[in-house]
Amino acid sequence: MRLRNVLPAVGAFAALLIAGCNHMPGAPRAQELARPEDQLDFTALYKTNCQGCHGVNGKNGAAYDLSNPEFQALIDDENLKMIVTLGMPGCRMPAFSRQAGAMLTDEQIDALVKGMRQAWLKPAAFGNDKPPAYDDDQKGDTAHGQLLYGSHCASCHKDSPQQQVTSPDYLALMSDQALRTIIIAGRPDLGQPDWRNDKPGQPLSGQDVTDIVAYLGSLRNPASNAAAPAAPVR
Ligand code: HEC
Ligand code: HEC
């Protein structure tokens, strides 16, 4: 920071200290001024850092529906924390931790993870069904994925231009993990079904999901750098 920018702040700080000593009515004491790193309230942290992309109360944003109880039940604390800490390679999910050069402390990231769990996790989200695993670093079968895309996805995704999930431009912005999450847990805020409900009576297996992601990945522009494996970096 340049000195020119610091000096007025120092002046204001000194003025507050003096005001505090004099007990000037209505003036805040210096120690009451909140520093950004002291903010540990989930609602405030979410609003400042996440809401712009993930939407008010976790849904209806451009990015994933974090309030989806199936998503919160699918992902474990470790992966959730890692994604907020380091970001998600291959899509526009930024890193938030100081270790990655951003603003949030470890305590703040813990407060975000805990807050999302408290607000949005419902332990019975899947009823008696067992969902496919959150991540999978195996290589899928592209040809089988294409067949499944035809039987389970194309009915809704063929015609409308906003729903062109096979477009290389769209896929360039979505990592394999982001696609996998959407296929398994759905996006209830948009109307995307979960892995059980693309085609009634024919739920997808974990391998099926891996194969569909491999097919979609094969359509990505090879020049894009989004071809990260369907697993966050460790
Ligand atoms: C600049 C936009 C942006 C901001 C700000 C942002 N995210 Fe994201 N986030 C994304 C995108 C894009 C994805 C990729 C997946 C998608 O949209 O479906 C994503 C994915 C995620 C995922 C993983 C979902 C999955 O597919 O498994 C989590 C968890 C997440 N964000 C949490 C957060 C939290 C918590 C914050 C605030 C600290 C935050 N994000 C702020 C854009 C953003
Ligand atoms: C019953 C209809 C239906 C079926 C079946 C379906 N989808 Fe969707 N899907 C939707 C709707 C509706 C949206 C939301 C579109 C929007 O608002 O952008 C959506 C959104 C998506 C998105 C997110 C688009 C975005 O805005 O980021 C992806 C990815 C996706 N679908 C993939 C799939 C795949 C892969 C399958 C097959 C396994 C599938 N869908 C099956 C209706 C369906």
**CATH number, domain at 204?**
1.10.760
**What is the domain range of residue 20?**
1-33
In which region does residue 116 sit, left (phi positive, over 0), alpha (psi from -120 to 50) or beta (all else)?
alpha
- 68 part of a folded domain: no
Please give the pLDDT value at position 6. 39
Among all bound ligands, the one having the nearest atom to the CA of 87 is 1
C-alpha 139/C-alpha 211 separation (Å) is: 8
C-alpha 185/C-alpha 189 separation (Å) is: 12
- 90 part of a folded domain: no
C-alpha 215/C-alpha 66 separation (Å) is: 25
- 125 part of a folded domain: no
- 51 part of a folded domain: no
- 101 part of a folded domain: no
Which residue is listed with tokens 């938030």? 96
**Among protein residues, the one whose CA lies closest to atom 38 of ligand 2:** 153
Residue list, ligand 2 pocket, CB within 6 Å: 152-153, 155-157, 162-163, 165, 179, 182-183, 187, 190-193, 198, 212
The number of distinct structural domains making up the chain is 2
With beta carbons less than 8 A apart as the criterion, state whether 120 and 208 touch: no
- 159 part of a folded domain: yes
- 152 part of a folded domain: yes
C-alpha 195/C-alpha 67 separation (Å) is: 17
Please give the pLDDT value at position 97. 97
Low pLDDT (below 70) residues in the chain: 1-33, 159-163, 222-234
- 27 part of a folded domain: yes
Please give the pLDDT value at position 221. 75
C-alpha 71/C-alpha 217 separation (Å) is: 22
Which residue is listed with tokens 């989930």? 42
Query: Residue 34 CB: number of other CB atoms within 10 A?
Result: 9
